[in-house]
Amino acid sequence: LSWEYKQLQEGEALGSGMCTEIFTPCLVELFGTSLFVFVGCASVIENVAASGVLQPAVAHGLALAVLIMVFGQISGGHFNPAVSLSVCLCGGMELLRLVPYILAQMCGGLIGASLAKAICSTGSYDTALGGAIHPNTTDLTKATQAEVMMTLFLTMVVCMGAVNSRTRSPWAPFCIGLAVTANIFAGGTVSGACMNPARAFGPAVVANQWTHHWIYWVGPTFGALLTVTFIRLLFGDQKTRVVLK
């Protein structure tokens, strides 16, 4: 009987550990990405008349900073597959979490885009293409390069401000939000300044807008990998760097 009780306790502990390590963080990533994409899409849809980048830039940056501040201690506050990729490869997250995180974020993007469609007027929604991201230039090479550079900037701020032990800062959530805002100001009129495949995927599915959608996977992925390269080779602490230790 005591052996069975011990086995039961071990099973409960294992279940609790898996819940804490995998399920709860993924649920937070799903919920947080839903809110982020909802705010992002709504800020674009309701900004049709102004057709500028100010409202989307401020809305995306503030929403992300607040969500990271609130949920960062549970999941890390990624809400972005490119961020999860860079954090994982820089040693800030177990590889086991990467795919569940990305799946949760993609589902969150769908939910957020659906919520934006539900609350916004049909006219504004259709005019803004459901808040879907699209390049504002016919030069797709420039748009892709813009996404690479902006994602490099964003993921560098994330990894250096929240992962790297030597440069970690309590101001990281606000720095990350400001990085997003700055990027949208800088590149919003070039590529749409997505930096986030989940942000692109959600409204693309809900509004069925797939024009040049690949840019928002290729650009952020390469940007994240560049960040990993710089940190692993040059900027990381001794634990993170693979050379010059």
Question: Which residues lie below 8 Å from residue 164, measured CB to CB, with a gap of 6+?
Answer: 90, 231, 235, 236, 237, 240
Extract the tokens encoding 220: 């952020």
In one letter, which amino acid is 81? P
CATH code of the domain made up of 2-235: 1.20.1080.10
H, E, C per residue of the chain: CHHHHHHHHHHHHHHHHHHHHHHHHHHHHHHHHHHHHHHHHHHHHCCCCCCCCHHHHHHHHHHHHHHHHHHHHHHCCCCCHHHHHHHHHCCCCCHHHHHHHHHHHHHHHHHHHHHHHHHCCHHHHHHCHHHCCCCCCCCHHHHHHHHHHHHHHHHHHHHHHHHCCCCCCCCHHHHHHHHHHHHHHHHCCCCCCCCCHHHHHHHHHHHCCCCCCCHHHHHHHHHHHHHHHHHHHHHCCCCCCCCCC
> Is the Cβ–Cβ distance between 33 and 198 less than 8 Å?
yes
Q: What angle do CA 152, 153, 155 make, to 5 degrees?
A: 65
The pLDDT tens digits of the residues spanning 196-219 come to 999 999 999 999 999 999 999 999
The pLDDT tens digits of the residues spanning 46-101 come to 887 666 899 999 999 999 999 999 999 999 999 999 999 999 999 999 999 999 99
Q: pLDDT band for 8, please (50, 70, 90 cuts).
A: very low
In one letter, which amino acid is 169? S
**Neighbour-count burial for 48-67, b at 16+ CB within 10 Å, e otherwise:** beeeebebbbbbbbbbbbbb
Mean model confidence pLDDT for the chain? 91
pLDDT at 16: 55
The domains of the chain are located at 2-235
Question: Which residues lie below 8 Å from residue 12, measured CB to CB, with a gap of 6+?
Answer: none
